[in-house]
Amino acid sequence: MRVFIRLIMCVFVLSFFTIKAHSFSPNTEQTNQQQEAYDPVPNIMHHISDAHQWHLWGEGDNAFSIPLPVILYADGNIDVFMSSKFHHGESIVTKGNRTYSIDSHGHIHEGSGLSIIDISITKNVASMLISVLLLLLIFFSVARGYSKNNKAPKGLQAFLEPLILFVKDDIIKENIGPKYQKYVPFLLTVFFFVLVNNLMGMLPGSANVTGNIAVTLVLSVFTFILTTISGNKKYWGHIIKPPGVPLALMPIMVPIEIIGIFTKPFALMIRLFANITAGHIIILSLISLIFIAQSTMGNAGAWAVAPVSVLFVLFIYCIELLVAFLQAYIFTLLSAVFIGLAVAEDH
């Protein structure tokens, strides 16, 4: 009962701060009738998209953002400057008299129409660098602990050892077979990279790394390359000449098998991207219900909707915590299955 009462109190406290953090005009029903209903789509898309700056809170002149390096290759020249130069979308002129501007979607354009290659440190790139640094610190620390003594693991070692052994024995070894050892480094790296970025993406103001299809594309391409170069004669034989298939069906089955080579990594890419992005959109949509109610029914409507909205957000947030581990597990499992099919020998 006490736990339930505390949960209800937390819901109302969070509701109070949520409404205060995004308060509309304090006027009454007349003001609310004059203003349009709150449109959550731009804010939701802004939070799940990549950007050249790391926006944390606030809007307009009151916004607090961390500027990130903009690196552009245009006309054989490399221009480097901070994203803060684009103050309120203003154009900037570099030393080579090249004029750059940024649109509302975060795309950078050159004034004279030059082709631009954007290799900037965006929010997602910065977040990935932080996650890689975090992974290096964690696992170098764990490795150093094992090198010092052979006693029972403690602290971080005790937490990570069952997880590492689970991935190694129950996912990699179980699905790849006797030749699993050389794939352990890649699959363990993929598992913890996806897991850490999933968990970091749940923090307020964080980047949506694993919800970016470019990131999941690269991860799935790594799996595709490893599967393709590891394929043995049996694997390619099943693709070029499927056993037990009548000759008349070969023109149908062979193209299907070849397409299947590409649909497997495509499924990996879409599954991770869609699940993580959907979770973020659901949470932001539930929070937006408060502001929609406030813009249409006033503060009374917001106070009526806020407790239910925040309660559902807490529920979805707990599910997202489970999904963070589940998607890391599924991506690693399917990668191991695809590699296992490529290296499997005839019995």
Q: Where are the domains of the chain?
A: 60-118, 123-343
The whole-angstrom separation of Cα 110 and Cα 76 is 14
- What number of residues does the chain have? 347
* pLDDT given at position 321: 93
Average of per-residue pLDDT across 54-80 = 82
* pLDDT given at position 275: 94
Kindly indicate the confidence band of residue 88, based on its pLDDT and cuts at 50, 70 and 90.
Answer: low
The whole-angstrom separation of Cα 299 and Cα 305 is 10
Top pLDDT among 106 and 116 is at 116
Top pLDDT among 19 and 48 is at 48
Top pLDDT among 148 and 311 is at 311
**How, if at all, do strands 64-67 and 53-57 pair?**
antiparallel
pLDDT surpassing 90 at residue 259: yes
* pLDDT given at position 340: 93
pLDDT surpassing 80 at residue 63: no
Q: Give the burial class of 340: count Cβ atoms within 10 A of its Cβ; 0-12 exposed, 13-18 middle, 19 or more buried.
A: buried
* Lowest mean pLDDT, pick from 114-118, 148-152, 227-231: 148-152
pLDDT surpassing 90 at residue 281: yes
Top pLDDT among 344 and 126 is at 126
* Sign, CA torsion 309/53/322/140: negative
Top pLDDT among 123 and 31 is at 123
Kindly indicate the confidence band of residue 17, based on its pLDDT and cuts at 50, 70 and 90.
Answer: very low
Which of 46-55, 88-97, 279-288 is the most confident on average?
A: 279-288
From the CB of residue 343, how many other CB atoms can be counted at a distance below 10 Å? Answer: 19
Average pLDDT over the chain, rounded to whole? Answer: 83
* Residues 309-323: b if buried by 16+ CB within 10 A, e if exposed: bbbbbeebeeebeeb
Average of per-residue pLDDT across 233-261 = 87
Q: Give the burial class of 94: count Cβ atoms within 10 A of its Cβ; 0-12 exposed, 13-18 middle, 19 or more buried.
A: middle
Which of helix, strand or coil describes residue 113?
coil
* Residues 191-212: b if buried by 16+ CB within 10 A, e if exposed: bbbbbbbbbbbbeeebbbbbbb
Q: List, for residues 325-336, the tens digit of each pLDDT value.
A: 999 999 999 999
191 membership: H or E segment, kind and range? helix 184-200
Q: List, for residues 123-176, the tens digit of each pLDDT value.
A: 999 999 999 999 999 988 888 877 776 677 777 888 888 999 999 999 999 999
Q: Which two tokens stand for residue 293?
A: 């109610």
From the CB of residue 123, how many other CB atoms can be counted at a distance below 10 Å? Answer: 26
* pLDDT given at position 212: 93
Q: Which two tokens stand for residue 240?
A: 């070029």
Question: Residues of the chain with pLDDT > 70: what percent?
Answer: 86
* pLDDT given at position 61: 65
Average of per-residue pLDDT across 91-98 = 73
pLDDT surpassing 60 at residue 218: yes
Average of per-residue pLDDT across 239-248 = 83
* pLDDT given at position 35: 56
Average of per-residue pLDDT across 13-18 = 41
